[in-house]
Amino acid sequence: MPFHVEVTTEIVELRITGALDRLLSLSSGVRIARSEVVDARAATWDEARAEMGWRVGGSYVPGLLATGWYTVKGRKGARQLWAVKRDRSSLLVIDTSLDRPARVVVAVPDAAALARQITGGTGAR
């Protein structure tokens, strides 16, 4: 899925850049203040999928893609944004103190390194 992740001292921004991908996910991305990031970590598909609730906007094709907005199991009103297409081997999960998005799940080449960059190398913030 074509997207760009930018991490600065103040924000974490995910921009979905492909027109078809924006359409499939019903989102152009999110911008989250670093102060609202609770945790960022690398996860397997099964770990990330365990908290995926009902799809409320976007696309899901088993084994191929999970994009768009989903509920969060056990958190009424909370939403999570998924941007995962084909390669599910390296997923980054960002948990926030917000309800929308409460989580962001994206497929990136090196999720562990990006998680360290987001958390400042300290694990959970």
Is 42 a residue whose pLDDT tops 60?
yes
Per residue in 55-108, pLDDT tens?
999 999 988 899 999 999 988 999 999 999 888 889 999 999 999 999 999 999
Between 125 and 7, where is the model more confident?
Answer: 7
Mean pLDDT confidence for 22-38: 93
DSSP H or E run through 111: helix 111-119
Mean pLDDT confidence for 28-53: 94
Report the first-to-last Cα separation within the chain, whole angstroms.
Answer: 28
- β-sheet bridge partners, residue 104: 81, 94
pLDDT at 45: 92
Contact between 13 and 30 under an 8 Å Cβ cutoff? The reply is yes
